Amino acid sequence: MSVALSRRQAFKVMIGLGSTAASAVLPRTALASTEEHPAHPVAPPEAVAMLYDNTLCTGCKACMPACNEANGLPTDTTLSGGIWDMPMGLNAKTKNIIELYQDPKSDEFAFVKKQCMHCLDPACVTGCPFGSLVKRDLGAVTWNSSLCIGCRYCEVACPFEVPQFQWENWNPKIVKCEFCYDQRLKENLEPACTAACPTGAVIFGKRTDLLAKAKDRITVAPEKYFEQRVYGEHEVGGTQVLYLSSVSFQKIGLPKLGTVSLGHYATKVTSVIYKWLFGPMVMAGVLGFFIRRNWNRHESERLEHEKRTGFPDQL
Amino acid sequence: MLSALFNSATSLETIDERLLKCGISRRAFLVFCTSLMVAAPYGLAITDKKTPEDVAAGLGKVIRPAVIWLHFQDCTGCTESLLQTSHPGFADLILNVISLEYHETLMAGSGLQARQALEEAVQKYSGKYILVVEGSIPTKDQGIYMKLGGRPALDVLAEIGGKAAAIVAIGSCASWGGIPSADPDPTGAVGVADLLPDKSIVNIPGCPPNPYTMLGVLLQYAANGTLPEADEQRRPKFAFDRDIHEQCPKRAHFDAGNFVKQYGDQGHREGWCLYEMGCKGPDTHAGCSTRHFNEIPDVWPIGIGAPCIGCTEKSIAFKVPMFQVVQLHTIATPPTSYAPITKTLGTISPLATGLVGIAVGTLATAGYVASRKFSKVEDDESAPGNRPPDSGSGDSPKSGPGASV
């Protein structure tokens, strides 16, 4: 026997079911605490890293086709008329790129290799509502297509603007450097870009080793390096791609960032809002107040209308 | 294969014996070996020695392989190309190194005489000879489009190919059909490997192929009884494992972006890259760019200013239009151009936040005010359920439900 539902009742049932479903899949990160995301995360001992030194890079771009080949990426030939792989930055077809900084006035120049920085506490992982982006065991930040809903929060969250969205695809994916995790790291191979680099401008190793190596290089020739520091040692809580540069890091497109991890920054807000469901309850209370007020108003109007016309409200 | 060859030593002689019989001096033979060392493809075991003496010692013991050469649907271009070799000369090759039993272009006899020679050779060296096939085999209409002594090429190949120890398909036609198989393919032309897939076959595609590849294959077979390592298309790897584009002498022009735009233009005269003229180099695997033809430097298609047509690739030559530009795969940007630094957009400034806030606030307020105004309109006759207050309970509308009772 079918239950006769009024329009209003049907809406109520739908809202009830919807909120039950929503609370069942409440975002995981919304419950995360600041203890899980310390302001200055410590890299686990097995964390791997890349060290890029632009005083050694000759701009040969051997890393770019190597990356394309390892990741099965198409070449980006839009600007070159179908001849060369010629991306103008990281995009949906490019996970790794060599860019050139040239000072228009002096003859100062520097190359820079751009790819995912593999932050110790990545903003994209914190921002992802469904856990599609994951920080894997060696520290690689990888993306899982089956969980992605295409919200592109990761694109907004990343301070280095690494995750890229496939606008041309009917079933778009997020394209970002994944440290060749599935392709090579799993098989104890170093990433394709570091394997291809002929000058050792980008090298692969344990993060602690590379950090020590980078500091050695600075000690040996401090005049070669800008600010005598390693970019990525403390930036956004530390990254697993480290940079040494002869020119200012901002000139080669690496943003000036604080030392607090973005995961900590985000959870500092979310952990307060969601503590004991405080935020949602306040929100529900405010909404409830307005609904009740409007409801009472409407009810009195309805009764008045009924009294005046002798007809019940038609709505 | 090796034992089969040695067992037949009674009927086949070694190169040493043959040279002795012909009165060729040791010096002349060493000269021949030297030229072989220079000209033979890299990686061939028999010529990969330190001195010509070592090569001569190895080569002298080689039993001269009997070779039967059949022409089907061909232009004899492959034979012509082989005739041009000078290090070693073709006469040296066919008279001293191999024992060429039957070759329609080169033999003196004709007609019945020639057929007899073929039959005798097949009978005498059955299961030991190398069959070289030049040209494709027609299969349409029972293969009547090409006949040899009144028999279709299909039957001839089945018989003579069946008794061969190994088959070398020389040229693109014999490898997979070549020119005769080009659209509309009136004869249903196919290659040897399509008809005898189980035989040990070496494909030496090319239009024409480099003669030294042929020489290398024959010499290795004679010396070791083995065929060179081949790729999935049965092409010997020593000659076909490299990409033309990767080894091209004009590669620097490609990287610099210097392209020929029209035949005879300034770039063409300067020897620029022919990619935009439809050069198939990036998709073609062959040794042409490193081993030129006729021992003359720069004698190969790209060297003389003609784009590569991809003749060693089954899917390109005679299938893809000659001047159609091929797609490049994993080629990096040329070093002459770089992407500029992409700056991250960074943080949102307080000013922008304020402006957006003001805009949103204005819109929200405007919406609220408008809704208040709308609800204050009292005398709207068209609004449903809205009546003037004086026309209240007395006269109800006729259409009103339950009004009459």
**B335/A61 Cβ within 8 A:** yes
Based on the domain organization, do B320 and B198 belong to the same domain? no
CB B66 within 8 A of CB B132: no
Residue-wise pLDDT tens for chain B (405 aa)?
A: 344 434 444 457 788 888 887 777 888 888 878 877 776 666 667 777 788 888 888 778 778 888 999 999 999 999 988 888 776 677 777 777 788 889 988 888 888 889 999 999 999 999 889 999 999 999 999 999 999 888 999 999 999 999 999 999 999 999 999 999 998 999 999 999 999 988 999 999 999 998 888 888 887 887 778 888 899 899 998 888 888 988 899 988 888 888 999 999 999 999 999 998 999 998 899 988 888 887 788 889 999 999 999 999 999 999 899 888 887 765 555 566 788 888 877 667 889 999 999 999 999 999 998 888 776 655 555 555 555 555 444 444 444 444 443
The nearest CA of chain A is from the CA of B330 a distance in Å of 5
Distances (CA, A) of B346 to A102, A156, A157: 21, 10, 11
CB B148 within 8 A of CB B142: no
**Tell me, what's the ipTM?**
0.71
Q: How far apart are CA B400 and CA B62, in angstroms?
A: 116
**B327/A62 Cβ within 8 A:** no
- A293 has pLDDT over 90: yes
In a domain, residue B209? The reply is yes
In a domain, residue B386? The reply is no
**What's the pTM?**
0.60
Q: What is the pLDDT of residues A101-119, one digit of tens each?
A: 998 898 899 999 999 999 9
- Percent of chain A scored above 90 by pLDDT? 57
- Count CB atoms within 10 A of the CB of residue B392: 13
The nearest CA of chain A is from the CA of B104 a distance in Å of 46
The CATH number of residue B32's host domain is 3.40.50.700
A20 DSSP 8-state letter: H
The nearest CA of chain B is from the CA of A129 a distance in Å of 22
What's the pLDDT at B391?
47
**B333/A64 Cβ within 8 A:** yes
B375 near A CB under 8 A: no
A252 DSSP 8-state letter: T
The nearest CA of chain A is from the CA of B91 a distance in Å of 46
| Number of domains within chain B | 2
Distances (CA, A) of B324 to A137, B36, B68: 48, 38, 38
Average pLDDT value for residue range A218-230? 92
Q: How far apart are CA B281 and CA B269, in angstroms?
A: 19
Based on the domain organization, do B259 and B196 belong to the same domain? no
**B330/A75 Cβ within 8 A:** yes
Based on the domain organization, do B134 and B256 belong to the same domain? no
What's the pLDDT at A248?
93
Based on the domain organization, do B15 and B124 belong to the same domain? yes
In a domain, residue B153? The reply is yes
Average pLDDT value for residue range A195-218? 94
Based on the domain organization, do B83 and B225 belong to the same domain? yes
In a domain, residue B355? The reply is no
Bridge partners, B201 (sequence order): B167
Based on the domain organization, do B94 and B110 belong to the same domain? yes
Residues in chain B with CB shorter than 8 Å from the CB of A305 are 385
**B393/A308 Cβ within 8 A:** yes
Q: How far apart are CA B337 and CA A192, in angstroms?
A: 22
B388 near A CB under 8 A: no
C-alpha atoms less than 13 angstroms from C-alpha of A190 in its C-beta half-sphere: 15
- 3 state DSSP class of B101: strand
Based on the domain organization, do B151 and B61 belong to the same domain? yes
**A101/B341 Cβ within 8 A:** yes
B331 near A CB under 8 A: yes
The CATH number of residue B248's host domain is 4.10.480.10
In a domain, residue B344? The reply is no
Based on the domain organization, do B233 and B246 belong to the same domain? no
**B339/A61 Cβ within 8 A:** no
Identity at B322, one-letter amino acid code: M
The domain boundary residue, chosen from B311, B336, B361:
B336
CATH of domain A48-269: 3.30.70.20
What's the pLDDT at A167?
92
A10 vs B86: which has the higher pLDDT: A10
Based on the domain organization, do B126 and B75 belong to the same domain? yes
Based on the domain organization, do B144 and B266 belong to the same domain? no
What's the pLDDT at B43?
62
In a domain, residue B393? The reply is no
Based on the domain organization, do B282 and B305 belong to the same domain? yes
The domain boundary residue, chosen from B198, B217, B239:
B239
In a domain, residue B350? The reply is no
Based on the domain organization, do B114 and B204 belong to the same domain? yes
Nearest Cβ partner for B396 among A87, A253, A310: A310
Q: Specify whether the backbone of B331 is left (phi greater than 0), alpha (psi in -120 to 50) or beta.
A: beta
- A273 has pLDDT over 90: no
- A56 has pLDDT over 80: yes
Residues in chain B with CB shorter than 8 Å from the CB of A80 are 333
B269 near A CB under 8 A: no
**Domain residue limits at B285:** 242-336
Nearest Cβ partner for A100 among B275, B338, B387: B338
